[in-house]
């Protein structure tokens, strides 16, 4: 509290932050440029700020809904549910954290997989739900990813995965680490069979998910300004004890350093990825 605020009698003091609060549902504030946006306009724009093109984080189902053709969608692995093998308990029980995440997101776990079409091309698409425990990868995420890849293999159709994850799920301990091996191994099969795999890295993609399935695309694509890396920026800062360069671990940084093939605006992804796939699969 500043000296000025201290002098002020409490009845004329206003709580900062309250006055500019945006009513929920109708208006949204852009995290990039702080512009107040009409919610339905933002939705029409695929949750990309019409003023500054900031790409907001979106849920897995919305992601797939935007990306896939509306007809002939079929969910894969929806019956899979996480179990707490280790009876893991930190400040909260893992079981309670799961129940909470399931309630908030309406999902059983952090990856949603669908078979469907992109501009008429049959594909399998997977998307991470970041709001589900930070999109962390445990056994169900690993298994659903494998089933997505298996479906792609079986029907010889491309696989596309939209990553958004903090990494491996600590509450599943070493089991979650092994999901990195599991998902990478199935991608090796896909690759050997000549089935295209396109990885789309969205904000944020870190840790074990970054260091496995999401860096292994035949083509790696990122959304603009997404945070992508192995170690988190805070951990790096503490380790090297220097300030991180501007734009460090952002999509543009990765493109410059050769880690990804391209950056594609969300609103153009259907067209562009469809075009890439049609070339990889020799369609006209």
Partner 1 sequence: MNLNFLDFEQPIAELEAKIDELRYVGDDAEINIEEEITRLQAKSKALTEAIFSNLTPWQVAQVARHPQRPYTLDYLVRTFTDFQELHGDRSFADDPAILAGLARLDDRPVMVIGHQKGRDTREKLHRNFGMPRPEGYRKALRLMKMAERFKLPILTLIDTPGAYPGIDAEERGQSEAIARNLFEMAGLRTPIICTVVGEGGSGGALAIGLGDRTLMLQYSTYSVISPEGCASILWKSAEKAADAAEALGITSNRLKELGLIDVIVSEPLGGAHRDVDLMADRIRLTLKEELAALDEIPVDELLEKRYERFMSYGKFSEK
As measured in angstroms, the least distance from the Cβ of 224 to partner 1 is 19
Nearer to partner 1, 129 or 143 (CB): 143
In 3-state terms, what secondary structure has residue 143?
helix
As measured in angstroms, the least distance from the Cβ of 45 to partner 1 is 30
Nearer to partner 1, 28 or 205 (CB): 205
As measured in angstroms, the least distance from the Cβ of 267 to partner 1 is 27
Do residues 113 and 145 make contact, with C-beta atoms less than 8 angstroms apart? Answer: yes
Nearer to partner 1, 6 or 87 (CB): 87
As measured in angstroms, the least distance from the Cβ of 163 to partner 1 is 11
CA angle (161, 162, 165) in 5-degree steps: 115
CA-CA distance, 242 to 233, in Å (whole number)?
A: 11
As measured in angstroms, the least distance from the Cβ of 168 to partner 1 is 5
Nearer to partner 1, 114 or 118 (CB): 114
The sign of the CA dihedral 114, 117, 122, 123 is: negative
Could you check whether the bond before residue 151 is cis, i.e. omega within 30 degrees of 0? no
Give which of 162, 163, 199, 197 is closest to 67, Cα–Cα.
162
Give which of 18, 95, 96, 31 is closest to 57, Cα–Cα.
31
Strands 121-128, 111-118: parallel, antiparallel or unpaired by DSSP?
antiparallel
As measured in angstroms, the least distance from the Cβ of 189 to partner 1 is 8
CA-CA distance, 282 to 79, in Å (whole number)?
A: 35
As measured in angstroms, the least distance from the Cβ of 261 to partner 1 is 12
Nearer to partner 1, 208 or 274 (CB): 208
As measured in angstroms, the least distance from the Cβ of 29 to partner 1 is 28
Give which of 164, 81, 158, 62 is closest to 116, Cα–Cα.
158
Phi, psi of 113 (to 5 degrees): -120, 135
Token pair 């990856």 is found at: 111
Nearer to partner 1, 49 or 97 (CB): 97
Nearer to partner 1, 159 or 211 (CB): 211
C-alpha R_g of the chain: 21
Token pair 């970054």 is found at: 210
Q: Which residues contact partner 1 (rule: CB under 8 A)?
A: 79-83, 85-86, 88-91, 138-140, 142-143, 146, 168, 170, 172-182, 184-189, 191-192, 207-208, 210-216, 228-232, 235-236, 239-240, 242, 244-245, 248-249, 257-259
Nearer to partner 1, 238 or 275 (CB): 238
């Amino acid at each position: 509290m500043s000296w000025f605020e201290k002098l002020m009698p409490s009845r004329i003091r206003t709580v900062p932050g309250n006055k500019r609060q945006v009513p929920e549902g109708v208006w949204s504030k852009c995290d990039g440029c702080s512009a107040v946006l009409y919610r339905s306009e933002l939705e029409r724009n695929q949750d990309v700020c019409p003023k500054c093109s900031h790409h907001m984080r979106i849920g897995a189902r919305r992601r797939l809904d935007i990306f896939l053709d509306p007809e002939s969608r079929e969910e894969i692995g929806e019956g899979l549910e996480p179990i707490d093998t280790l009876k893991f308990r930190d400040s909260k029980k893992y079981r309670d954290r799961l129940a909470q995440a399931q309630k908030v997101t309406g999902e059983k776990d952090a990856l949603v997989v669908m078979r469907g079409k992109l501009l008429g091309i049959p594909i399998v698409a997977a998307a991470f739900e970041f709001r589900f425990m930070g999109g962390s990868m445990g056994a169900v995420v690993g298994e659903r990813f494998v089933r997505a890849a298996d479906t792609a293999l079986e029907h010889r159709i491309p696989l596309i995965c939209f990553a958004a994850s903090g990494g491996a799920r600590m509450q599943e301990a070493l089991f979650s680490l092994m999901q990195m091996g599991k998902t990478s191994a199935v991608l090796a099969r896909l690759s050997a069979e000549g089935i295209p795999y396109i990885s789309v890295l969205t904000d944020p993609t870190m840790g074990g998910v970054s260091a496995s399935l999401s860096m292994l695309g035949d083509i790696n694509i990122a959304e603009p300004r997404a945070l992508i890396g192995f170690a988190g920026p805070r951990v790096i800062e503490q380790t090297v004890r220097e300030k991180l360069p501007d734009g460090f671990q952002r999509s543009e940084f990765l493109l410059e350093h050769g880690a990804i093939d391209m950056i594609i605006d969300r609103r153009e992804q259907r067209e562009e990825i469809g075009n890439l796939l049609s070339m990889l699969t020799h369609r006209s």
